[in-house]
Amino acid sequence: MSEEQSPPSTTLPDKPSDKAAAPEFAPLPNLKAPGGVAVAPSPQRREQTRMVPLIAGAIWGILYGVMLQLLFRAPGMKRFVELMSVGMIFFLPVAIGFLVAFYVGWKERERPLSLRYALLGPWSAVGPCLILSFVVGWEGAFCLMFATPVFLIMSSVGGLLAKLALLVIDRGRDRRGPGAMKNGLTLLLLVLLTPLSSGFVESNILPPEAIHRVHTQIEIAAPTDVVWSEIIRVRRIEPSENHGLFYKLGFPKPLEATLSHEGVGGVRNASFEKGLLFIETVTEWQPQRLLSFRIQADAHMTRLDPHVVVGGQYFDVLQGTYEITPGPRQGTVTLHLWSRFRLNTHFNGYAGFLGDSLMRDIQNSILRVLKKRCESRHS
């Protein structure tokens, strides 16, 4: 019998699965040299890539700082936010530093944000902000010197806070998911709104008053009567006689002082540059020993800066006193000069340090002028 032929097998092709396997994302291939050998990206190429978020972070920080300055200075906003506030002087640079460092750290999350960049990176934004404020006239040299140390230090504090915030977020379970993104943006928004919130709160709080007294002295090789005649009335001071750090920063230089009549009740007009006039009413008069006077700034109140006025809301000089005592050496006297001034800010501690430095510099300059004149007359 012939073998039965088996029917040809009809093998169906494999049925494709309903769900295709998800493709695996492979890393980008390395660059290859002409010989086919893989080469890593050059250090220069990596550095250029690294610079992109650094520059972008600085730009975001500058834009934020400028926008907040425009908002604080907008017409009608003075009723709602205080310009000379802790929020503007201290919290604003913290927010700028936080924004710069947080942006760079978020973009470069594969590598931890370095401590060096957290401290110094924010300066790339606060530096241009300060320069721009001076160029457009928002701040003068006096306030720029006042604000620069605070802005640099506080922006570094903001950078450190951003580094800490990134470490906390990266330790979470959802470090790369939408939850981390939401937490990061929420934290960033809260920090960026802090200066504005603080300025609003401070505008509704009366700033405290602080009274400061500054004492300076100098030894003069001249008789008491010569020194006394030079202090009750001060002849015209030439520009070459005036030397002081704060004069170079724009503070008006003293010009002369006149006296209506000798004795208590006499009015001593002390004239400075830029139209600044101190009307000084004599309250104590002890010939060849003590001269004290109450000070009132003139009506038009010369500005030290666009928003800092002598005799204004934040700063005023109240009293001055000259006293002559025996000197440490034979034939000399010691001339003392005291001043008393008022501050009204929400940061009187730091403003007081600057005010003391200002008055001490001016008083020392005046004493040097008097010393030179007295000793020239005596010789």
- Domain of 373: which CATH number? 3.30.530.20
Residue 112 · residue 278 · CB < 8 Å = no
Distance CA 212, CA 201 (A): 26
Decide if pLDDT at 49 tops 70.
Answer: no
Angle at 121 between CA 115 and CA 122, to 5 degrees: 115
pLDDT band, very low/low/confident/very high, at 176 (cuts 50, 70, 90): low
Exposure string for 76-115, b = 16+ CB within 10 A, e = fewer: ebeeebbbbbbbbbbbbbbbbbbbbbbbbbbebeeeebee
pLDDT band, very low/low/confident/very high, at 29 (cuts 50, 70, 90): very low
Q: Which domain holds residue 272?
A: 209-378
Please state the length of the chain. Answer: 379
Q: How many CB atoms lie within 10 A of CB 243?
A: 14
Please tell me the pTM assigned to this model: 0.75
In a shared domain, residues 193 and 278: no
Answer with the one of 186, 202, 218 that is the final residue of a domain. Answer: 202
In a shared domain, residues 198 and 65: yes
Q: Residue 174's pLDDT is what?
A: 54
Answer with the one of 181, 202, 223 that is the final residue of a domain. Answer: 202
Structure tokens at 218: 């100098």
Q: Residue 177's pLDDT is what?
A: 60
Distance CA 219, CA 330 (A): 11
Distance CA 230, CA 369 (A): 10
In a shared domain, residues 314 and 282: yes
In a shared domain, residues 215 and 360: yes
In a shared domain, residues 190 and 78: yes
In a shared domain, residues 261 and 352: yes
